[in-house]
Amino acid sequence: MKNRNHDRRGITLRRKTGAVRGRAAALPAALFFALVLLLLPASAAAPSLDKLPLSKAEAVYIYNTDNDRVLTQKNAEKRIHPASTVKIMSGLICCEFFSGRLDERITVTDKMLSAVDGRHMGLKAGDRPTVRDLLYLGFCGCFNDAIAVMEYTLSGSDASFVALMNTRAAEIGMTDTFYTNATGVHNDNMYTTARDTALLAVEAMKSGLYMTVTSAVSYTTEGIAKPFSFDNYNRLIASGGYRNSLCRGMNAGNTPNAGYAAVTAAEKNGLTVVSVVMGAQTDDYNNIYSYILTTGLLDWAFASFGNVDVFGTSSVICEVPVDLALDTKTVIAVPERSVSYFLPLSVKISPRAENDADQVGSRGEKENADTEGYDITYRYRLTCDRLDAPVPAGTRVGFLTVYYLGAQIDSVPLVTKSPVSKSELLYVFDRVREFTRSDFFIGMLITAAAATVIYIVVSAVIRGSRPGNGKKRPRRNTSRKNGSDRLGGGTPGRR
């Protein structure tokens, strides 16, 4: 099964008892599995998913609650007999109903015990256990007679209580589940799926009382005449060979028809994982694979997934040109916030962001030649070609889009990393340049040119319109005919 079997809808989440043959030379599977983990280096201690004995279970569902992420699954939608995982639903309803009434005593009657089947601790009519005792007996010790007392007290009959269970299942979104009793005793008509069971487990985690009860390693009754001590029936919680210190609460059990089931929540490194293993088998050495698989799957999940830092607020994405700056021509653009995601720890992150403007091919499609082979890629888009100083730090200049396996998972604003001061001299030159390019200045030049042209034209017109314009005036001859204007001359006398 591939470990990238992702469910993008979120939680949308036989018994073969072999005869013990007593082969002294062979190690039980559980012990062998534990020894292998201890001998491996710390970095390789987590088992490979492909090497886990998943064939030993009919259905598996591993879900990270913090990030709504299915880590792996097997037959998650297949209908399966629920066995004692039914007690998660009955436990949730009882804890919600009896919360705040833990010291209240309930008198046991024969009617309450009339239909009890399966595992029971021996309550008798007339016993007056506290609600607290009954909750721990029913959902920590998995004793069916304690559950019967609570369901009759809560609803008056087994049938009405089961109706409440099915109504609640529908409210949670368990679309492929049908209950016929409150304890998980086999019934051919009762079914659920690993996905529905995970949904139920997540809902049960919201009840602090339920998680406290089902996380107890052991308990001793207080309200019954003779104190009764018992261990948690879930061997992932109780002391013993299958105990897993990471596990919190839920339920485990089996029936001959349904096989072994184990449901639990585990926490590590600030992450919470819900594990559902159903229809598991045993082997010739009585190793119970519902427990073995749960521990193996949890180890794999915590070693294989985590919050991966993709980039921080100091990650240089690109540079933006800056005009009028005092001592620089560009400013660095960085993400406005740090970005981390819950991902496989082996994820490959592209070392550079691509500019959207540079990634358009001949067909107008985005090209990713430089990011092939990477799981996390990202592109940036600037909202301005350049900036004018002064530029304050934190000025938004674009957006960074993040992709995982080709699907967009986030978009983060890009901002300037540091402030850029203005050069006053460059500013003055720029103002002058801008003024000379302004419409006003160009209009002034046009107006002046037009005025000059008009002046020249008008002047020419005026000169051309004066009297005698174009006629040559005769030159005045100051000498008199016959030389009468000569000195000493006069009118000549006749001779």
Helix (H) or strand (E) holding 73: strand 69-74
* Lowest mean pLDDT segment, chosen from 200-214, 238-252, 449-463: 449-463
| 3 state SS of 57 | coil
Q: pLDDT at position 465, please?
A: 72
Tens of pLDDT along 440-478?
A: 777 777 888 888 888 888 888 887 776 655 555 555 555
Can you state the angle between helices 208-215 and 131-139, rounded to 10 degrees?
60
For residue 365, the model assigns a pLDDT of 40
- Rounded Cα gap, residues 156 and 153, in angstroms: 6
Give me Rg for the CA atoms of the chain: 45
Do residues 107 and 129 touch, judged by C-beta distance below 8 A? Answer: no
Confidence of residue 367 (pLDDT cuts 50, 70, 90): very low
The owner of tokens 């040559």 is 472
* 295-308 per-position pLDDT tens digit: 999 999 999 999 99
Residue range 29-305 forms a domain whose CATH class is: alpha beta
Mean pLDDT of the chain: 83
Kindly state the DSSP code that residue 27 receives in the 8-state scheme: P
What's the pLDDT tens digit per position in 154-199? 999 999 999 999 999 999 999 999 999 999 999 999 999 999 999 9
> Which of 219-235 are b and which e, b meaning 16 or more Cβ less than 10 Å from the residue's Cβ?
bebebbeeebebbbbbb
How would residue 366 be classed by pLDDT, with cut points 50, 70 and 90?
Answer: very low
Residues 108-132: tens digit of each pLDDT: 999 999 989 999 999 999 999 999 9
What does DSSP assign to residue 152?
Answer: H
Q: Is the pLDDT of residue 288 over 60?
A: yes
138-152, 232-246, 426-440: least confidently modelled range? 426-440
- pLDDT for the residue numbered 414: 96
In whole angstroms, give the CA distance from residue 133 to residue 145: 12
pLDDT at 84 over 50: yes
For residue 36, pLDDT over 60 is answered with no
> Does the pLDDT value for residue 392 go beyond 90?
yes
Q: Which residues of 309-341 are buried (b: 16+ CB within 10 A; e: fewer)?
A: ebbeeebebbebebbbbeeeeebbbbbeeebeb
Lowest mean pLDDT among 56-70, 71-85, 429-443, 478-492: 478-492
Q: Where are the domains of the chain?
A: 29-305, 312-416, 425-452
H helix count then E strand count, the chain = 11, 16
Same fold? 29-305, 312-416: no
CB-based contacts of 143, cutoff 8 Å, min separation 6: 119, 120, 121, 123, 137, 230
CATH 2.60.410.10 fits 312-416, yes or no: yes
Q: What is the pLDDT of residue 38?
A: 38
Q: What is the reported pLDDT for 458?
A: 81
